[in-house]
Structure formats: structure tokens, C-alpha cells
Amino acid sequence: MSASISGIRQKSNKGITNTLEDAFKTTSSMIYADMSYRLKSGLNIDISNMDITNHEEGRKMLKREYRAPYRHPYAG
């Protein structure tokens, strides 16, 4: 069993070496890969703001309607 799995089961951070930035990159990569697959198109990502630069439909997928009374932070 890996140190990470053992640490999680014991509710300990011992053996977990990934940073928050590593986790963000991994999760983002998977989200964008899934979007690319669904759109059947390659996506160009501006890493400075993590926005899609070449696909309007893909850019729309980054935002979604929130259920009331919550509002998306980018909604005017």
C-alpha cells in the first residue's frame, strides 16, 4: 500500500508529497481533457488565467448556471 493511501486511511498528511498546485494542475488537466473529448476539438488554454482561447462553446462550458439564490462570481 502506498504512503499516500496509508496516510489518508489514518487521517494523516504523513507521506503525502503533492502540493496544492500539483493537485490543481492534475484536476484542471482532466477537466479540459474531458471538455476536449466532448467537443471533439482541441482546446488552447491560456495558462495565465486558465481560459480557453480558441473555442467559444468550450469557454461557455467553464461557467454554469447556479441554482437560486446563488450567483456565479463572474455573472454581472
Dump pLDDT digits (tens) for 4-59.
677 778 887 777 778 889 989 999 999 999 999 999 999 999 999 889 999 999 99
In a domain, 30, yes or no: yes
Q: Distance between CA 61 and CA 69 in Å, rounded?
A: 21
User: In total, how many domains does the chain have?
Assistant: 1
How far CA 63 is from CA of 26, 35, 69, 71, in Å, comes to 19, 12, 16, 11
- In DSSP terms, 34 is beta-bridged to none
In a domain, 10, yes or no: no
In a domain, 8, yes or no: no
Residue type for position 44: N
Alpha-helical runs (H) found in 10-55: 20-39
In a domain, 52, yes or no: yes
Q: Give me 57's grid cell.
A: 462553446
Q: Is the dihedral of CA 68, 34, 25, 11 positive or negative?
A: positive
| Prediction pTM value | 0.67
